[in-house]
Amino acid sequence: MNQVASPPSSSKKRSGLRRFVDRYRMETFLGSSAVLQIAALLFWYTPPNTYDHLDKLIDEVAFVENLVIQDPNVGEAPDDGEFEVTDTLKKKEDSRIAGAQDAIVSGATAPVDLSPNVQPEYTKDAQSAGVGGTLTLEVIIADSGEVLRVRNIGKTLGYGLEESAIQAFYKKRYSPSMLEGKAITVKVYVPVRFSLY
């Protein structure tokens, strides 16, 4: 009788591992792939070890301690390269301006001009230059009827026409705009035409 020699035990282990891999090929691939991805993520997101933070902090503190703040030269005239503060009493803007609503969009009644005789003056420079045209002014009218702000938002004509129109509208009085029985601050757009004819 012929006996078949049995393979050594290490080859049995290898063949068992091969059979396992062959039988569970997809699961083995997915498992090893997941292990490799986790290892890559751990290496990727590991912060670098830096030990010089304390040295940088010491340098910054030393710089701040050596910093000297000098007092401004009070009472001296400014040099050519410096600026002189001249507008120290700048007028604060009224807080009602920020809450101004567009009268048309909000559905409020339009404010009525109570001073139609106040008209912008056609400047002599503009007349002699033959300049004319239409300006568009944004006028903010308070709930009391006073004009809070006037500014040109369209094209500029020059020759002092914008300034003349703005000054005239600051002198005007209006009836307040009403919304649901209550006076409100509104923003209106007024065209102002300057014509030689």
With contact defined as beta carbons under 8 Å apart, do 115 and 167 qualify?
Answer: no
Tell the burial category of 168 from Cβ atoms under 10 Å away from its Cβ (0-12, 13-18, 19+): middle
The dihedral through the CA atoms of 14, 20, 23, 27 has a sign that is negative
Q: What is the C-alpha separation between 102 and 111, in angstroms, rounded?
A: 11
Residue type, 92: K
Assign 41 to helix, strand or coil.
helix
d(CA 170, CA 146): 8
- How big is the chain, counted in residues? 197
**Is 125 in a helix, a strand, or coil?**
helix
CB 177 within 8 A of CB 141: yes
Q: Are 159 and 133 in contact (CB under 8 A)?
A: no
Could you report the per-residue pLDDT of 52-100, keeping only the tens digit for each?
A: 566 666 666 665 555 555 655 555 655 555 555 555 444 567 777 777 8
Name the pairing type of β-strands 186-194 and 101-102: parallel
- Note the pLDDT of residue 47: 63
Q: In this predicted structure, what is the pLDDT of residue 69?
A: 59
**What's the CA gap between 39 and 37, in Å, rounded?**
5
Q: Which of 141, 129, 121, 140 is nearest to 192 (CA)?
A: 121
Q: Which residue ranges in the chain fall short of pLDDT 50?
A: 88-90
Listing from the earlier edge strand, what are the strands of the sheet with 133-141?
A: 101-102, 186-194, 133-141, 147-152
Residue 89: predicted pLDDT? 47
Supply the pTM of this predicted model: 0.50
pLDDT for residue 65: 56
CB atoms within 10 A of CB 91: 6
- What is the helix (H) or strand (E) element at residue 97, kind and residue range? none
Beta bridge partners of 189: 138
